[in-house]
Structure formats: structure tokens, C-alpha cells
Chains A and B, each alone.
Chain A
């Protein structure tokens, strides 16, 4: 029986040293396409690249006083790629895992009682993303 995913079943495993409690993520998978329409065609032909790119973000609240480091360790002085796993449902597993780098980290805090962090990440290497999706009926 098909089961409808509920957002609160999700999760995200961030690369090392991205210390935050996270409650939302988003990602976009894209690839280049080329128009190869020829003379005489009456519709547009396109060819899709095999190379996919992923960009996305994860947001939540920074944590401190933890051994994992700070919320900016992923971007300050750190060029290394790290594995990120975006989870729709933990069990049965519906996940997307790939290597990423942090392109930006947005931080904010206010006397109104809000502290927030947003990590923006991008696909980092030639390895194909690993997409796991429960398909047993």
C-alpha cells in the first residue's frame, strides 16, 4: 500500500562540523540540456547530460557547547568535501546521499528570541549521488 511521506519523518546528516539542530532541508537536482533541433524538425529536440548537479539548503538552530564544533566550521577554513544524507523517511530508507561542500552559511539572532542558521551546499565531486527509495509494495 502506498504510504504518503510526512515531512517530520525526515532528517539530515550533515558533513562533519555543522553543529545545529535542523528542522528543514531542500534540494534541487539539475542537469544541463542542449537543444539539438535540426532543420525540418517541427518540435524542439533536447539532449540531456549524464552529469547531475545538486544544490540545496538545510536550516535550523545553532548548537553550542558540543564537541562537534561550531555552525561555521563547514565553511571557514574548510575546503574539504563531506558526505551529506538527506532523508525523507528513515525506515524504510528513502534517502539521497552525496558529497558536498558548503557554499554559504547564513546566521542570525535577535532579541525576539530567534537564533537561526542556514547551510547552503553544492555537489562537490564526480561521484554519482546515491538515491535510495523504498519501492516494495
Chain B
């Protein structure tokens, strides 16, 4: 179940919104990863992680999954906070209030829970934004 949700989020983050790419992909040069980035990745990059979904059951076997996921943007300190904020906005624009196609579910509706602000994490900036996705199984 959660794999379907994570795939849907990745598909949206990497979706083609024009010209074979989207503003987020352009900003991070397609460096968008689940869980962790490859070793020695360049910056900036985007990671996303998902908490285990809460499950609400309905009679007849269908269930609704509600999962919180966090999108984290990492960038070098010399990138500057303005650029980090711009990238965070691109993430929010891609995800907030969007209805995503999710395998084995009716759809996955996403809404933003908290908008991120830049903070220093060692030698990098990071911005965490959290979202919620809700999807109901089709069987």
C-alpha cells in the first residue's frame, strides 16, 4: 500500500508539466530521491520520506490510507536561502491540493501540512515541508 503512495508522490515530483520536465526538476537537475540520495550527490537535491499510513477500514474490505510525507530540500550554504525558498515553493506548487493517480486506489489527494523554512544543517541548508496524502483502496 505505502509503496503505491510513494510511487505516486515520486511520479508527481518528476512529472512533465511542460517541455519534458518541470520547474522543480530543472532547479535540482533531476536530483529527486526517495529516502536517501546516492553517495556524493551534487546539491541542491530533494529527498522525500513517508510515515507509515494510518488505515481506516470500511465494510466490504475497502480501506482508506492517510500518510504524512516530508519533502526535504538540501542545498549548499552558498546557494542562499532565497533559492531554497524558491525550490520549496516549487515543491508545494506541484503537490498541494493535487489529485494524484495511485495504483490500486481511487486517487491520492495531497494537501500541504507545513511549509518549510531554511535552516542550517552542518554545511548545508535544508528545508522540510510536510504533506498528507489520502487514498482509498479500490478493492
Contact = CB atoms under 8 A, between A and B. Distances in A.
Partners in one complex: yes
Interface of A: 8, 10-12, 21-23, 60-61, 87, 113
A21 B132 contact: no
B60 interface: yes
Contacts of B59: 10-12, 21-23, 60, 87
B66 A21 contact: no
Contacts of B64: 21, 61
Interface of B: 56-60, 62, 64, 66, 111, 132, 134, 136
Contacts of B136: 21, 61
Interface of B is mostly: strand
> Sorted from nearest, which 3 A-B pairs have the closest CB atoms?
A11-B59, A21-B58, A23-B58
Nearest to A21: B58
A63 to B, nearest CB: 9
Interface of A is mostly: strand
A10 B62 CA distance: 13
B132 to A, nearest CB: 7
A22 B58 contact: yes
A10 B58 CA distance: 9
A23 B56 CA distance: 9
A87 B132 CA distance: 33
A113 B58 contact: no
A21 B62 contact: yes
Q: Most chain-B Cβ atoms within 10 A of its Cβ — which of A10, A11, A12, A21? A: A21
Contacts of B57: 8, 23
Nearest to B134: A113
12 contacts: A8-B57, A10-B59, A11-B59, A11-B60, A21-B62, A22-B58, A23-B56, A23-B57, A60-B59, A113-B111, A113-B132, A113-B134
